[in-house]
Amino acid sequence: MLSAKERIPDIIKILRKHYPATCTALHFETPLQILVATILSAQCTDVRVNMITPSLFKKYPTAREFSRARQEDLEQEIRSTGFFRNKSKNIIAAAQKMCADFDGKVPDTMEDLIKLPGVARKTANIVLSSGYKKAEGIAVDTHVKRLSERLGLSTKTNPEKIEQDLLTLVPKKDWLDFNYLLVNHGRAICIARTPKCRECPVQLLCPATVKFLKG
């Protein structure tokens, strides 16, 4: 089989054809909303997050309102997303940091975003790509981690190390959409337990295909 560097252009081309809607499934209108939604989405489905954010964003339209929220109130409002105590604490603290250091606005650089409580590279990459259409990296979530291994793009397990491998393989013009391409494919075909390899449009470019078909 060809090397990962040689296969990646065709992988991207095929995935773009099958998943033309390269965007997050989270509903948002502003960088603040995608930041909060992304924090809420940790260990939670996008569908569940989308169910609670309309009322949440109506009550807290700006970072100023979030910064003044009572943690007990916010916990109850986001309870169904899981890990609600830590998430509410981080959302309030991030909003306070934005108000204190960034004039109440969501930063638009990786350097500043990761200064916010509860924001690591994955969240920052999603905010930059979805909220600002800026590509400073590639968000590595559970889908990207799984597919990167199966497609032979990285042997690492640490998300930041996987990201560094991907950044050397994926052309920069594709960084903006690469996460969403793998997420869409991971949800539709390359699912965690029993991937649908026989239906997979990139099966001939995937080292894992033989293993799963034999299994």
* Cα–Cα distance measured from residue 177 to residue 23, given in angstroms and rounded to the nearest whole number: 7
Does 127 share its domain with 35? yes
Q: Which of 73, 108, 131 is the last residue of a domain?
A: 131
DSSP string, 40-79: HTTTS-HHHHHHHHHHHHHH--SHHHHHT--HHHHHHHSG
Please give the DSSP secondary-structure letter assigned to residue 29.
S
> Which residues belong to the active site?
122, 141
- Predicted pLDDT of residue 215: 58
Q: Which of 103, 131, 159 is the last residue of a domain?
A: 131
pTM: 0.91
Let me know: does 4 contact 153? Beta carbons within 8 Å. Answer: yes
CATH at residue 155:
1.10.1670.10
Does 49 share its domain with 125? yes
DSSP string, 117-173: TT--HHHHHHIIIIIS---SS----HHHHHHHHHTTS----SHHHHHHHHHHHS-GG
Does 13 share its domain with 54? no
Q: Which of 99, 131, 163 is the last residue of a domain?
A: 131
Q: How many domains does the chain have?
A: 2
Does 17 share its domain with 46? no
Residue numbers of the domain that contains 112 = 31-131
Over its length of 215 residues, how does the chain's per-residue pLDDT go in tens digits? Answer: 899 999 999 999 999 999 998 788 999 999 999 999 999 999 999 999 999 999 999 999 999 999 999 999 999 999 999 999 999 999 999 999 999 999 999 999 999 999 999 999 999 999 999 999 999 999 999 999 999 999 999 999 999 999 999 999 999 999 999 999 999 999 999 999 999 999 999 999 999 998 887 75
CATH at residue 79:
1.10.340.30
* Cα–Cα distance measured from residue 118 to residue 93, given in angstroms and rounded to the nearest whole number: 8
* Cα–Cα distance measured from residue 74 to residue 84, given in angstroms and rounded to the nearest whole number: 8
